[in-house]
Amino acid sequence: NYPAAGSTSGRIFAPYSVYKGKAALSINPILPTFTKLESGGIKVDRRGVMMLKFWPAIGERKYDWEKRQLFALSATEMGSIISMGPQDSCELFHDPSMLSSNAGQVRKSLAIKPHADGSGYFFNLNVVNNILKTSERFTVPVTTAEFAVMKAACSFALPHIMGWDRYTTHPPRRTEGSPSRVDTQLLDLEWDK
Amino acid sequence: NYPAAGSTSGRIFAPYSVYKGKAALSINPILPTFTKLESGGIKVDRRGVMMLKFWPAIGERKYDWEKRQLFALSATEMGSIISMGPQDSCELFHDPSMLSSNAGQVRKSLAIKPHADGSGYFFNLNVVNNILKTSERFTVPVTTAEFAVMKAACSFALPHIMGWDRYTTHPPRRTEGSPSRVDTQLLDLEWDK
Amino acid sequence: NYPAAGSTSGRIFAPYSVYKGKAALSINPILPTFTKLESGGIKVDRRGVMMLKFWPAIGERKYDWEKRQLFALSATEMGSIISMGPQDSCELFHDPSMLSSNAGQVRKSLAIKPHADGSGYFFNLNVVNNILKTSERFTVPVTTAEFAVMKAACSFALPHIMGWDRYTTHPPRRTEGSPSRVDTQLLDLEWDK
Amino acid sequence: NYPAAGSTSGRIFAPYSVYKGKAALSINPILPTFTKLESGGIKVDRRGVMMLKFWPAIGERKYDWEKRQLFALSATEMGSIISMGPQDSCELFHDPSMLSSNAGQVRKSLAIKPHADGSGYFFNLNVVNNILKTSERFTVPVTTAEFAVMKAACSFALPHIMGWDRYTTHPPRRTEGSPSRVDTQLLDLEWDK
């Protein structure tokens, strides 16, 4: 039905977006890719992420999509957000050039801080680009209700981003043979390195 | 198997309903619709909602379905309800004619307020229609158990209402080529605006 | 693949069971049945339940399955259990003959009460049958870990028991026409009684 | 699409792994197997588990996969972990030779203990093998964010490990006959031992 990787067709556009006074913020999942092994199995190749996009307001209800900045949350970073209580804050740092010769040239930091009155959080993205000599800052206030949607959406997407839906949609192995020793089988698994 | 949009066939009738002394209340999800893009991708067209319906009692265990009033919760409004604690209340306002010449003529407000003894919530819907010169008010007490079902049902339905199930049922992109640099790939995504 | 209702084939046997000193307890979901409407839609016919089964111990690690008693939790009763905090208790009453001439002849009550030390709950089922002149009582202590499994299993099963998975596995309605007014569409839904 | 049991093909490799100073830890689900009954139904044969693997660090960012030790969590043991609060700890004991002549020769214990500052947990696995005369100990500190991923992943996998996804993916039984007595049907189920 849908074309394979490498093509732009088949893409899904269903971000959850919030538009506020100074900037907009959207989130959408990006699933992992898989490699087929010679054994016939499959292995996660590129891990999935939850993509956050920030873009600035340039007038009343007008936003400049061309100026967007991205921040890709890993599974563990999604865990940080899912486990946040109402008074908690969280700060994450990315260097998109890490492990390359440009390491340290671009620094991104995402800070999520609770409103003083407990009515939600501020999402702040700071991007310092030493190559382009730019520094950008986005601030998006997120209400408790919007944050609840983000948490629920992250909780839903997390197993898929980890590739765990593959375990569960996999056709079951049926053993049609003799009756089995239920109690010891489970323990047997631990021997089977 | 199922006919496309615009037809009444294929509809599902599985609302969660509570019948109380003065009125009944039901909830059921309405999924988003999608538009196919020229690129081959798909995009959310009309967003999904959680539909609340209230209709009045007109005798013992008799209710008048013809007098029902609707209130369609958006994803963010569902977030308000999902995040409610036992002492929290919540009030939502809709104007079904917003952005039309009848703006302000019909005002709907949904208030959810905790019982004083913590045994549940009152759901109040107020509909003032200045065109028809009518004002209707529905009050449905909802127990803690019924509210737990509504919250669980909303949590289940939310990703589907957002269209996010499309991300996850999408056939995976498999890369069958060379071994990949796992650590840097994730960071690469952030460059790929 | 699987035969239709009325046949015993196609049944799934995957209960979650706990075996304790005086009795055993198992839970498993029973999905709703649906009726096809003339319009082509489908409607929940018999609602789904979470079935609890209790059967007595008759010796060391021996249990008498023939003496089992059933208690079928509705969606709302599952909500009672899902929303229980560590100190909460819950009591449910069923009359399987309700609305028949034998009303009141058989009374079942399920009580779930927290252990004094917070280490779990007691599940008590009491069945008084005035027709057979019998009275049976089952007590199964359930640990916090086992109760967490039951809650998670109930949360997973609830939307399926309500028939809501039908909404979400339904093929999407695609509108391939002209661009749509996103902001007002959602509000339009509320007019569409 | 995928080959049946007994073959190594079709296996999925998508563990969630954390690499720390002294050891690494990964978790991945193993689904139950099923037996087809003569009646046409299916029954869980070998129960599913959540497999934990620990393997030691042997240098900076180098780990020895050959020295890994396994610990297979049952559904109820997953319940222990899912229900842990921030100050809770949990200890689980396995004897992989239980019920065999080697009972007691190998003892495994998994302890999960909160950090003093509330910033996560220590996962300790201790394996004493009296046959090989070995004793191994693995300690992996797990942050709150990583633990949140593990909990969410366990919550997602639990119904699948229990085999309950089979109930829900089962084609529905449709009754196309006469209108049904909705109120009493549910009660009828309790008679149907």
Cβ separation B36–C174 shorter than 8 A: yes
- Domain spans, chain B: 16-171
Supply angle C-alpha C69, C75, C78, rounded to 5: 65
pLDDT digits (tens, 9 = 90+) for D97-131: 887 888 889 999 999 999 999 899 999 999 999 99
Whether residue D2 is predicted with pLDDT greater than 80 in this model: the reply is: no
Task: Identify the top-confidence range among A54-58, B7-11, C81-85, C185-189.
Answer: A54-58
* Helix (H/G/I), strand (E/B), else coil: B36: strand
Whether residue B183 is predicted with pLDDT greater than 60 in this model: the reply is: no
Q: What is the DSSP letter of D174?
A: B
Query: Can you say whether residue A118 is alpha, beta or left, with left for phi > 0 and alpha for psi between -120 and 50 degrees?
Result: left
User: Domain C16-164 carries which CATH code?
Assistant: 2.30.31.10
Cβ separation B158–A156 shorter than 8 A: yes
Asked if A127 and A111 count as a contact pair (C-beta separation under 8 A), the reply is no
Cβ separation B71–C180 shorter than 8 A: no
Average pLDDT over residues B133-139: 97
Spell out the alpha helix ranges (H) of D56-193. 75-82, 144-161, 165-169, 182-191
Architecture of domain B16-171: Roll (2.30)
ipTM above 0.85, yes or no: yes
Name which of D181, D186, D188, D192 to mutate to probe chain C: the one with the most chain C Cβ atoms within 10 A of its Cβ. D186
Cβ separation C166–B74 shorter than 8 A: no
One-letter amino acid identity for C45?
Answer: D
DSSP state string for chain C:
----TTSSTT-EE--EEEE-SSEEEEEEEE---EEE-TTS-EEE-SPPEEEEEEEEEEETTEE-GGG-EEEEE-HHHHHHHHT--TT--EEEEE-TTTTSTTTTSEEEEEEEEE-TTSSEEEEEEEEEETTTTEEEEEEEEEEHHHHHHHHHHHHHHHHHHTTTHHHHHSPPPB--SS---HHHHHHHTTT--
How many percent of chain A have pLDDT more than 70? 83
Query: Cα(B79)–Cα(B95) distance, rounded to whole angstroms?
Result: 20
Average pLDDT over residues B30-53: 94
Chain A CB contacts of B193 below 8 Å: 68, 70
Closest chain D residue by Cα to residue C150: D79
Nearest-CA distance D47 → chain A (Å): 7
β-partners of residue B160 are none
Look up the CATH superfamily of D16-172: Transcriptional Coactivator Pc4; Chain A (2.30.31.10)
Cβ separation D184–C45 shorter than 8 A: no
pLDDT the model gives residue B191: 58
Chain D CB contacts of A167 below 8 Å: 12, 14, 28-29, 31, 157, 160
Cβ separation D11–A40 shorter than 8 A: yes
Chain B CB contacts of A18 below 8 Å: 76
Work out the pLDDT band at D75, boundaries 50, 70, 90: very high
Chain A CB contacts of D34 below 8 Å: 172-175
Cβ separation C33–D174 shorter than 8 A: yes
**Which among C160, C154, C158, C166 is positioned nearest to C35, based on CA atoms?**
C166
pLDDT digits (tens, 9 = 90+) for C126-148: 999 999 999 999 999 999 999 99
Give chains near D: 3+ CB pairs under 8 A: A, C
Nearest-CA distance D127 → chain C (Å): 23
Whether residue A100 is predicted with pLDDT greater than 50 in this model: the reply is: yes
Average pLDDT over residues D45-67: 96
The domain A16-191 is classified under which CATH number: 3.40.50.620, 3.30.750.24, 2.30.31.10, 3.60.15.10? 2.30.31.10
Cβ separation D193–C68 shorter than 8 A: yes
